[in-house]
A and B are shown apart, each in its own frame.
Chain A
Amino acid sequence: MKTNNIRNFSIIAHIDHGKSTLADRLIEYTGTLSSRQMEAQVLDNMDLERERGITIKAQSVRLEYTAKDGETYMLNLIDTPGHVDFTYEVSRSLAACEGALLIVDAAQGIEAQTLANVYLALDNDLEIITVINKIDLPSADPERVKQEVEDVIGLDTSEAVLTSAKSGIGIEEVLEAIVKKIPPPKGTVEEPLCALIFDSHFDAYKGVIAYVRVINGIIKPGMKMKMMATNKIVEVTEVGVFRPAMTNVSELAPGHVGFVAGSIKNVKDVRVGDTITDADRPVAEALPGYRKVTPMVYCGLYPVDSSEYDLLRDALEKLKLNDASLVFEPETSSALGFGFRCGFLGLLHMEVIQERLEREYNITLITTAPSVIYKVFKTDGEIFEIENPSKLPTPQEIEHIEEPYVKAMVIVPNDYVGVVMELSQEKRGEFKDMKYLDVTRVMLTYELPLSEIIYDYFDRLKSATRGYASLDYELLGYRESKLVKLDILLNTEPVDALSIIVHRDKAAYRGRILVEKLRGIIPRQMFEIPIQAAIGNKVIARETVRAMRKDVLAKCYGGDISRKRKLLEKQKEGKKRMKQVGNVEVPQEAFMAILKID
């Protein structure tokens, strides 16, 4: 097929604005899959993705469409992850396209996440087609939303397409707009091979499969390809396209989107954003925009049952095969035993990994409270980074500590501006900017410590604004803060896994709330359990779990032993999710309690 008849595009949308449904309709309309083969939301493969209504891995599908001009076009849709944790992945998927569909809910309008991704698309010089979706909702107001898109983003919406993906309205118009407005790819076959990796996955038989967009040149089996960032050279064994099932083809030409396999064992060798070239005739320069992805959030993962340690390690290794951004290393906690300190792109990424470990690998986990990476400047001049609060040296040894800050954009209806300001203030935010998007909606910009965002900023933002606020943020860099380590003592023994780093001014409050919370979580045992919060040697809060007076079933009715046994079994089941810390049994949720303080 002529390069001129290729169109590569992404879809940008806020969660629930109908991205997956529209993608399904496009697949269906072009006959790529019959409706019999369609499973709702074809592109979200994992159960987790479907349940949460989010896309975690990028997906791609090739559609063939015969347009009204009589020509047949090859449309490559690259579906992108829709969450702030995966901003870099999104930017690479967008870089693989010439255009993007901006889907905006006809009732709700633009959200912060959409906005952030639109800016990414504009940075990549993409042609943007505005799609106003859900126009058949009673509360739809397409004109207002169009105006908002014009005012806020500055896009011309006179040719915006009105759709209802759910009811199948406007699908053909979307396809026509893609063909007419999005420019065809520019590359040539004569130039040396240059292809962008926008995602990858691990296949047990074929090794790592790279998802690529070819810019120039040809890639086909038998040739030697080189990954420029990692300098890895392998022979190409297979190339193919997504229809949406992986289908082998003889070659991928400029403008094509597809996959490349080459017996690559380690997903680390195939990095998102890297450039693939011909090892025998390489390009001089890699494509711009590549960066090594580094984790932003760390937490400890421990098996409740310590005999499952090896199982956990194997499971993490398997997950890592598919996820180069997941990092982990062994860690020992005096309270929790052997486990791993794991690094994630963000909170969602962390939750997804935890859930997959529990679900797919059936491991009962204890997760410690997430932490950011702190830079510690010691009085002796040494500087080091810690991602585990318990590793913070004593106050005497510390000159100062720095923590990561982010620029956060919050979009809210103007009635909620006050509460958002109050919340952001409380979270040590620094006000930067306020902009009216239209008469009722406001965008606030704050600079905030990342630790406050991962703590409970987003949850509180949502509840304070009844779910109307949307949030996006980007890393700004490190700043000095007055931070201290807050320790928790159970039965007078410090529990390393419960230590947190907090701002000095908030330590007393957090300590008090935390011990109260723990008192509610830790079940009564045979003895009284004091719970204390301390900074250094100074106890700042204390609660007590009273002793259970007795625990014995009195009556054994008429020889009904099974009933008695079942009662004991039920009790035992409850114990299973507990960890013995010293002589105290602590339920796993205690270690996350820190996150759930209202």
Chain B
Amino acid sequence: MKTGLYIHIPFCQQKCLYCDFPSYDNITHLLQPYVAALCQEISGWGGVLSGTLIDTIYIGGGTPTLLPADTLKVILNKVHESFSIDEAAEFSVEANPGTTNQEKLLVLKSGGVNRISFGVQTFSDALLKSIGRIHSAEQAVRSVKEAQDAGFSNINLDLMYGLPGQSCKDLEASIQKAMKLDITHISAYGLKVEEGTPFAAMDQKGTLILPDEVEDEEMYTFTTEYLPQHGFNRYEISNFSKAGYECRHNLKYWRYQPYIGVGAAAHSFLQKERLSNISSVPQYIKCIQSGKPPIELRENLSTKVAMAEYIFLALRTVQGLSILEFQELFKRGFYLEYGDIVSELLQKKLIAVKENRIKLTVLGMKYGNVVFREFLPE
């Protein structure tokens, strides 16, 4: 089976106030040793996966485009040298506005990258500042245009709603501005205050003023209704794209297809087994240097857990879950296992059954967790 590849770049110029991802703004000195370790890990996997075709690649972070052009080139070369890559592969790179330039864009382009995902979040300067972003709205517009000028036509923008001080009007303006930029994909995420972030501390102190639930819901509803009306189909709970521009790499996560992750804190999924790489950057480097696999956690999934994961991931997509595919994969009758749950969720109008597919309803999308947790083993 074709496999996906994720590459993690845990560096940022400045950490955003809401962010709890494994990324750091104070370890620039580790940049070169990290890239060396990363390349070593890529080579290693290349050996293991010789003969397997890679059909999606995703370089995420952090801010991959914070790396200098020549460093990016080293990584890209390493990837090509180590893996057999499908001719039609989707190759995405995450970028933050203000960290790209023509030189880097050219390196990416000639390195096979064909999709760029910009962390724009909002086009309001005041809001950008309040969430700790380093760029301005104008810079975001410029960065997108530069990418398009460099020949990138498949572009995603990440947008956020539920930001402190954000109104539905702000959100509407941002979405409209995004769509004017001739892009192909929008990811719209609701802000969640995560433990250990500056926002969590502010929340505790009472200085973080978030939109109330009614406004938050209004923004969610606006986003999920407005985008499809304007050519961006919702294909997953938080993801919207023009026809044919769904992110194939992310679809792998939801469709229970294999992927490997390289770099600190990266995750791999290899049929029934999940691997997590060491999340500490210095320890990751040390581990690679000492010649050991940088794996922190190996999780062998029991059938029950694997089935649950399969279901809740598939249900995130608008296509939903194929019962036939499920039965083919797990050799178990879907309704035999989950008949009671299905009937209960149908009654609550959270799911709909059409032929051999189960999908979340519009209501179910909103209360996804209520549906997902039902399928977890007791």
Contact = CB atoms under 8 A, between A and B. Distances in A.
Interface of A: 526, 548-562, 565, 568-569, 571-572, 575-576, 583
Nearest to A526: B367
Which of A559, A562, A569 is the most central at the interface, judged by chain B CB atoms within 10 Å of its CB? A559
A562 B369 contact: no
A561 B309 contact: yes
B367 A551 contact: yes
A553 B6 contact: no
Nearest to A561: B309
Contacts of A562: 267, 274, 276, 297, 299
B372 A568 contact: yes
B289 to A, nearest CB: 23
Given A552-B365, A560-B267, A565 B216 contact: no
Contact of A559 (B6, B297, B305, B367): B6
A562 B372 CA distance: 14
Interface string B352-375: 000000000001011111101100
Contacts of B287: none
A575 B313 contact: no
Nearest to B313: A561
Interface residues on B, range: 35 or more
Contact of B190 (A554, A560, A569, A572): A554
A548 B274 CA distance: 33
Nearest to A550: B366
A549 B274 contact: no
A497 to B, nearest CB: 22
A561 B253 contact: yes
Given A565-B305, A575-B373, A555 B267 contact: no
Contacts of B266: 558-559
B370 A551 contact: yes
A558 B267 contact: yes
B340 interface: no
Contacts of A552: 237, 365-369
A571 B237 contact: no
Contacts of A569: 373, 376
Contacts of B21: 557-558
Given A569-B376, A583-B348, 18 more contacts: A526-B370, A548-B367, A549-B213, A549-B366, A550-B216, A551-B366, A551-B370, A552-B368, A553-B368, A555-B238, A556-B254, A558-B21, A559-B269, A561-B253, A562-B276, A565-B312, A565-B376, A575-B373
B220 interface: yes
Contacts of B253: 556, 559, 561
Helix, strand, loop or mixed for chain B's interface?
Answer: mixed
B189 interface: yes
20 contacts: A526-B367, A550-B217, A550-B367, A551-B366, A551-B367, A552-B365, A552-B368, A553-B192, A553-B369, A556-B254, A558-B261, A558-B265, A561-B269, A561-B274, A561-B309, A568-B312, A569-B373, A569-B376, A571-B373, A572-B373
Interface string B34-75: 000000000000000000000000001000000000000000
Given A526-B370, A556-B253, A549 B214 contact: yes
Contact of B237 (A554, A558, A560): A554
A557 B18 CA distance: 14
B234 interface: no
A555 B305 contact: no
Interface in B233-282: 237-238, 250, 252-254, 259, 261, 265-269, 274, 276
A583 B345 CA distance: 12
Interface string B65-106: 000000000000000000000000000000000000000000
A549 B267 contact: no
B309 A565 contact: yes
B269 A551 contact: no
Contacts of A557: 21
A558 B279 CA distance: 13
Contacts of B220: 550
A576 B373 CA distance: 11
Contact of B316 (A549, A556, A560): A556
Query: Which 6 A-B pairs have CB atoms at the shortest separation, nearest pair first?
Result: A552-B368, A549-B217, A549-B213, A572-B373, A550-B366, A554-B189
Contact of B368 (A551, A561, A565): A551
A150 to B, nearest CB: 58
B134 to A, nearest CB: 20
B215 to A, nearest CB: 10
Contact of B8 (A558, A571, A576): A558
Nearest to B263: A558
A552 B362 CA distance: 12
A561 B21 CA distance: 14
B369 A568 contact: yes
Contacts of B297: 562
A551 B266 CA distance: 27
Contacts of B190: 554
A529 to B, nearest CB: 14
Contact of B369 (A561, A571, A576, A583): A571
Interface in B127-168: none
A378 to B, nearest CB: 42
Contacts of A583: 348
B308 interface: yes
Nearest to B344: A580
Contacts of A575: 373
Interface string B313-347: 10010000000000000000000000000000000
